[in-house]
Amino acid sequence: MSLSLETAANPENLRRVAIDPVSRVEGHGKVTILLDDKNRIHQVRLHIVEFRGFEKFIQGRPYWEVPVMVQRLCGICPVSHHLAASKALDAIVGAQHLTSTAEKNRRLMHYGQILQSHALHFFHLCSPDLLFGFDSDISKRNIVGVAEKYPETAKRGILLRKFGQEVIRHTAGKRVHGTGSVPGGVNKSLSIAERDELLRDIYQMVAWSREAVHMVKELHHKNPELYNSFGAFRANYMSMVGYDGSLDLYHGRLRGRDENGNVLFDGVDYNDYTVLIGEEVKNWSYMKFPYLKSLGKEKGWYRVGPLSRIQNCDFISTPLAEIERREFMAYSGVMPMHAPLGYHWARMIEMLHAAEMIKDLLHDDDITGNDLIVTGERGFEGVGVIEAPRGTLIHHYRVDENDLVTMCNLIVSTTHNNQAMNEAVRRVAQQYLHGHEITEGLLNHIEVAIRAFDPCLSCATHALGKMPLEVEVLGVDGTQLSTLSRSGDGSFCA
C-alpha cells in the first residue's frame, strides 16, 4: 500500500528541492524532494512542524477552564477544540447523557463550524486551482482571479462563512473565546430572536451549499482522468459514525475500513482509542505517525476527514446530502474513491449536510429550551472525540481530586493524516515531476495534493507575516545550483 519514496537508498548523491513553506495551508509545512541528475525522484517527504507543548500548557489548570483555554490552541478551528474538550470533561462531571437542549445547541455550534470552515477552504483556498488549472497563470490562480471571473462564487464563500460564524456567535456566546459549551452541557441556549435571525438566511445557505456540491461534481465528471488519478493512493480510512451508522460529526463510535472498503472494526467506543491507535515517531519528522495497532506500523496507517467520512457511513440523515452521497458512491463504483481531489467533493457534501442540519435544529423547539446542564458521579478521566472539519479530533484528560488537569493527550486531524499526506505528495511527485525540469506549475501540483486534505497546522505554529515559497536545488556537493522563490505578493521568480 505504501509507496517506496520515503527514504532514498543513496541520498548523498542526489539533489534536494524544498518547498518551504507550503502556501494556502495554515501554519508551516515543508516538502523536500531528492532528485538525481536526470530529475528522477528518489525521495519525497512532507515535514510538519508540530508544536509539542500544548498538552503541557493544559496541565495544572482547573478542568472547567479547559474548554475555553483549548480554543487558543488554534485560531482556525477553536470550536472543534472547545467541543472535544467539553465532551471529554462531561465524564469528569458525571454527565453521561446531556439534556436534549444542551446536545442540540452543541451540535448547532459544531455544524456552524463545519459550514464556515468548509466554505473557506473550497471557495477561497482551493477554487483557484480547480477553476483555472494547477499550472495555469499564477497571476490569475488566486482568489482575486476567481473574484474577477466568477464573482458570485467568491461572494458566496464570504457569505457562507459569515453565516457559519454567526451560528457560532449565537451558540458560543461571542465571536471568539466562546464559553457556550461547558462540562455537563451548555451555559446558554439559542434565544428566539437569535433563532429567527438565523432562520432568515438558512434556506439560502442550503441552496448555495447544494450548488457548491454540483460545481465540484461537475469538475469530476468533466475531467475524470485527472480527478480520479491525481495523487491517488490506496489507504485504510477511519471516522466516527453515528450509532445507527449515519454520518454523525458530533458523536458516535469509531469505524475503520481497509483500502477495499471492507470493515476492519466497527462500533469501537472512543474511550478505548489507545487500544486501537498507536503513534510512531520517525527520525525525519516532528509530527507523529498514527497507525492501527491491529495492522502494525507498516500497514496500519489510515486517512481521516471528509473523504473517509462520506465513504465510511451507511447513510446521511438529511435528504439533499444523502442524494449527493449516493451519487458520489455510485461514481466511485465498487471500490472506494482514494483520489485526494475527491476530498473536495466529499467536503461539499458535508457542507450541505451541515446546512441542512442547522435548518432542522433551528426548527426544533429544544434548541431554545432551558434545561442546560446535568451532573452525576464525579469522574477522574475523560475522552472526547469529535469529527472536526479536517477529521477525527481526540481529547483525553485526567483530573485529580483538586480539579486540576494532570494529563492531557490530543490527537488532531492533521496528525492522523500525516502518512496519507506524505503518500499523496509522493504519488504526485512520481506522476508529474519525475524526469522533468522543476517549474512553479509542477511544484504547485504538490501543493494542490496537500491542500486537498485542508491540513490545519495552526496548532503547530503561529504564522506571522508573509508565507514565501522557496525552492532550492542543490548539487551533489551541497552547493546551490539554482533557486526559485515566491514572494508574499504571489509573484514567482527565478
Q: Which is nearer to another protein, 242 or 455 (CB)?
A: 455
Task: Find the shortest distance in angstroms from Cβ 394 to another protein.
Answer: 19
Question: Alpha carbon of 210 to those of 216, 384, 445, 472: distances in Å?
Answer: 10, 31, 28, 43
The C-alpha cell that represents 120 in the structure block: 473557506
Short-list 54, 41, 48, 38, CA closest to 11: 41
Would you count residue 54 as binding another protein (CB under 8 A)? yes
Q: Which is nearer to another protein, 140 or 434 (CB)?
A: 140
Q: Tell me, rounded to whole angstroms, the distance of Cα 224 from its chain centroid.
A: 24
> Beta strands 469-474 and 405-411: pairing type?
unpaired
Would you count residue 214 as binding another protein (CB under 8 A)? no
Q: Which is nearer to another protein, 54 or 302 (CB)?
A: 54
Question: Alpha carbon of 209 to those of 212, 216, 275, 323, 364: distances in Å?
Answer: 5, 11, 38, 13, 21
Among 15, 24, 107, 217, binds another protein (CB under 8 A): 24
Distance CA 32, CA 326 (A): 39
Q: Which is nearer to another protein, 189 or 209 (CB)?
A: 209
Count of residues touching another protein (by CB under 8 A):
50
Q: Which is nearer to another protein, 133 or 278 (CB)?
A: 133
Question: x/- site string to another protein, residues 423 to 462, per CB under 8 A?
Answer: ---------------------------------x-x---x
Q: Which is nearer to another protein, 80 or 189 (CB)?
A: 80
Residues 144-163 that bind another protein (CB under 8 A): 144-145, 147, 151, 154-155, 157-158, 161-162
DSSP symbols for 390-437:
TEEEEEEEEE-TTSBEEEEEEE-HHHHTHHHHHHHHHHHIIIIITTS-
User: At 51, phi and psi to the nearest 5?
Assistant: -80, 125
Short-list 189, 172, 150, CA closest to 83: 172
Query: Which regions of 90-249 does DSSP assign to beta strands (E)?
Result: 181-182, 185-186, 236-241
- Candidates 134-142, 192-200, 361-369, 431-439: pick the segment binding another protein (CB under 8 A): 134-142
Task: Find the shortest distance in angstroms from Cβ 375 to another protein.
Answer: 28
Distance CA 215, CA 192 (A): 35
User: At 384, phi and psi to the nearest 5?
Assistant: -125, 130
Task: Find the shortest distance in angstroms from Cβ 184 to another protein.
Answer: 24
Q: Which is nearer to another protein, 95 or 212 (CB)?
A: 212
Question: Alpha carbon of 109 to those of 80, 228, 411: distances in Å?
Answer: 9, 34, 21
Residues 464-483 that bind another protein (CB under 8 A): 464-467
User: At 243, phi and psi to the nearest 5?
Assistant: -60, -25
Task: Find the shortest distance in angstroms from Cβ 2 to another protein.
Answer: 30
Task: Find the shortest distance in angstroms from Cβ 173 to another protein.
Answer: 15
Would you count residue 490 as binding another protein (CB under 8 A)? yes
Would you count residue 25 as binding another protein (CB under 8 A)? yes
Residues 6+ apart with CB under 8 A from 376: 93, 94, 95, 96
Would you count residue 411 as binding another protein (CB under 8 A)? no
Residues 334-363 that bind another protein (CB under 8 A): none
- Candidates 98-106, 224-232, 354-362, 484-492: pick the segment binding another protein (CB under 8 A): 484-492
Among 8, 17, 19, 26, binds another protein (CB under 8 A): 26
Residues 81-120 that bind another protein (CB under 8 A): 116, 120
- Grouping H, G, I as helix, E, B as strand and the rest as coil, residue 169 is helix
Distance CA 403, CA 401 (A): 5
Q: Which is nearer to another protein, 25 or 254 (CB)?
A: 25
Q: Which residues bind another protein (CB under 8 A)?
A: 23-26, 51, 53-54, 56-57, 69, 72-73, 75-76, 78, 116, 120, 124-125, 138-140, 142-145, 147, 151, 154-155, 157-158, 161-162, 165, 175-176, 456, 458, 462-467, 486, 488-491
